[in-house]
Structure 1
Amino acid sequence: MTALASRRNSREKSFAPPGDLLGKVVAVVVLLGVWQAAGSAFLPDYLPTPLGVITELIPTLTSSAFLTALGETVGAVLLGLVLGCVPGTAAGLLIGRVGWLRQLSTPYISGLYAMPMLAIVPMATIWFGYNNLTRVIVIALSAFLPCAVSTADGARSLPANLGDVARVLNVPRGRFVLDFVLPSALPFAVAGVHIAVGRALVGAAAVEFLANIDGLGTFILTNARSFAQNQAFAGVLVLALLGVLARAGTERLIRRVAPWQQTHQD
């Protein structure tokens, strides 16, 4: 009955009432209308407006400069996520289960996690230069920290009585990790990846802004400084869309590997 009720609740939440959808559409239309009217009546011509962005959207998205910038940023983000999430998840498992390692590393990981990644960009450029390596390192660190912190919480959340049962049954350490620790930590690990994707995009844009490395951040900044605000805003929209797609992808992953976690979050 519980599983049936959960499925029924999930189906009910997946279909929004028509009134809610209509209200959201009306709110967006009103907001865009006010923006367009204010831009036409009071604001300088070089500032972006909805009609201006729509007019420049297709030419901007199909330009070679934009496509090159998009490829640079997406490629660096994907590489940084792999280099950050995989070791971050492994480190989280160790930190969550090994007491002395948790006591040793928690202050440093917690401090780095709380620190904005913008703060390390100047030092990273001094150490590694104004190049793609710096961008990948910042992205990897941005992804490593949430994966490590979240996975450690999941590994530590394993009930102590399960460990006692495993010791009584003389379960090998390898089987204990696979059968007990990983299922407990899995939802937390996926949630860490969820956070890491957003932080990776922010880290990539920050490095591109501050270090002038080719990418979407530099594309936006260059157009904004050239008073091509509509083109710059088109780049901002693409960055936002990448974040939305990444969030949708990780939520889909959560539903696949840990459907009970998705139900709990809903």
Structure 2
Amino acid sequence: MEQAQAQTKASKPAVPARRQMIRNRVAFLENRTPAYASALGIVGIVLMWEALCRTGVVPALFLPSPSAIVTVGWGMLMTGEILENVLASLFRIAAGYALGSFAGIVIGLLLGFFRWVDSVLTPVVYSIYPIPKIALLPLFILWLGIGEMPKLTIIALGVFFPVVINTYAGVKNVDPILIKAAVTFGSNHLSVIRKVTLPASLPTIFAGLKLAAGNSLLLLVAAEMIAADKGIGSMILHYGNLMMTTNLMVGVLLLSLLGLVFNRSLERLERKLLPWK
């Protein structure tokens, strides 16, 4: 019997060894992908793309090589064409995104905090949300005339709905105990919203802001293709009509870069405002 117990004890690892094993498992689970992994993926795709075009597998008319796109893009940059169109698009997307996100956060907070606002406006929000926003552009042109206002309005509308719905969901998921505690200590409605509800809802709000960023780019390009003479969408449509695929791809890559910068900026802002996340 004693011999069997001794063998069992000997078979069990020592306490320090088990602790080290647990630390190794935790370190493995927390191991993050190196920062250069994303860059390697992009470089690999670009090299494969270049190889396909150089070998003639894909005709240049259908898909120009990355080197050709860079060469043409540099020429467009030197002539000022890229800068002119990018500045026009940046103004529209910045103004529309700011208006839509601000309105979405404010209305979402009101919907989630006040029951009577929820009862009145929530059915309106969910009934308009499924409508394709670009389908309303001709109506906005009729109402607001030909100019920047219809494009800004359509972008703001596309941003508004993801933000308001996510803000509403975030407010509804705030722990009621936090609100009751704030009210117990004498906080009024505005103070509760500012100090409790809004900070607790920020993770969900940022999720809506990121979704809205993609919508804003889609609506920007669509609006510029329909009713604009300057902008990245207008430039893409122009070169598409002329069958100048390389110039067209320059515009597509500009949109990709703009979306990447937009997303990274939101992530940095989120890390700054939500250090605990």
Q: Please report the TM-score for the alignment, with normalisation by the length of structure 2.
A: 0.80
- The match for 2:275 among 238, 259, 262 is 259
**2:179–2:197 CA contact under 8 A, matched in 1:** no
Give the match for residue 78 of structure 2: 62
Preserved contact between residue 130 and residue 212 of structure 1 (Cα < 8 Å): no
Match of 1:131 in 2: 147
Partner of 2:64: 49
Separation in 2, partners of 1:180, 1:188: 14
| Structure whose CA Rg is larger | 2
3-state SS, counterpart of residue 107 of structure 1 = helix
Q: Residue 22 and residue 198 in structure 1: after superposition, are their counterparts in 2 closer, same or farther (change >3 A)?
A: closer
AA aligned opposite 1:129: G
Q: Between Structure 1 and Structure 2, how many residues are aligned?
A: 250
How many percent identity over aligned positions? 25
Matches within 5 A, 1:230-245: 230-245=246-261
Structure 1, residues 197-229: CA drift from partner, whole Å, max 9, x if none?
222121111101122442110111101111221
Matched with 1:193 is: 209
Q: Once superposed, what is the RMSD of the aligned Cα atoms? A: 2.6
Q: Does 1:171 align with 2:190?
A: no
2:52 alignment partner AA? V
Q: Distance in 1 between matches of 2:40 and 2:188?
A: 57
Residue equivalent to 1:29: 47
Aligned mates of 1:9, 1:171 — CA distance in 2: 45
Pairing 1:1-266 to 2, within 5 Å after superposition: 12-13=31-32, 15-16=34-35, 22=40, 25-37=43-55, 40=56, 43=59, 46-50=61-65, 51-261=67-277
Cα deviation for residue 152 of structure 1 reads 1.2
Q: Which runs of 5+ in 2 are unaligned?
A: 1-26
- The answer to which of 46-55 and 161-170 deviates more is 161-170
Q: Given the superposition, is the C-alpha separation of residues 148 and 47 from structure 1 closer, same or farther in structure 2, using an over 3 Å criterion?
A: same
Alpha-carbon offset, residue 9 of structure 1: 8.6
Deviation at 1:22, TM superposition (A): 4.7
With the length of structure 1 as denominator, give the TM-score of the two structures: 0.83
Q: Which aligned segments of 4 or more residues in structure 1 are displaced greater than 6 angstroms? A: 8-11
Q: Structure 1, unaligned stretches of length 5 or more? A: 1-7, 262-266
- Mapped contact 1:88–1:147 kept (Cα < 8 A): yes
